[in-house]
A = this chain, B = another copy of it.
């Protein structure tokens, strides 16, 4: 079972080695997945996709255990259950700063490797104040492999086909009504 906590476009600054820095809008999904086998646990799944680039896919799964090390390592003061909402608040601050030349809050995807290297990347939420850059959060994401991208695209295609079917039905209804008024 999976509960979608957030699925929105967020402005992102992409910085790859040897590549010009660019800004795109990415779809950030945050889901809580409940697993009950072998023991009951919850995992937080974070996914970045780009509606304009079908092969852009980055994933991170954080279990409660993973979160404990993340908490320690980054000096977080919230627990696992409160973390998703804090992360969403940060993302919304980035969205609010969209369009500003020097946004106060910025979501960054940073890699020290070249773009096709399939190495981990860092997703950072960075605040820029007059004094310095403050990293509020830094998450290590993995680029999707061919199998993961294949599955992701299959689910996108399923949604797109369903939306198309529903549009076709609405169009048929409206056209029928329109033709009726023309008689």
Contact = CB atoms under 8 A, between A and B. Distances in A.
Interface in A153-170: 153-154, 156-158, 160-161, 163-164, 167-168, 170
A7 interface: no
Contact of A153 (B153, B168, B170, B182): B153
A37 interface: no
Contacts of A163: 164
Give the number of times this chain occurs in the complex, counting copies.
Answer: 2
A144 to B, nearest CB: 9
A115 interface: no
Interface stretch (A28-36, A134-142, A173-181): A173-181
A146 B150 contact: yes
At the interface, is chain A mostly helix, strand, loop or mixed? helix
A145 to B, nearest CB: 8
A149 interface: yes
A55 B181 contact: no
Contacts of A158: 54
A157 B153 contact: yes
A171 interface: yes
Interface of A: 54-55, 145-147, 149-150, 153-154, 156-158, 160-161, 163-164, 167-168, 170-171, 174-175, 177-178, 181-182
21 contacts: A55-B150, A55-B154, A149-B150, A150-B153, A153-B153, A153-B154, A157-B157, A160-B160, A160-B161, A160-B164, A164-B164, A164-B167, A167-B167, A170-B171, A171-B174, A174-B174, A174-B175, A174-B178, A178-B178, A178-B181, A181-B182
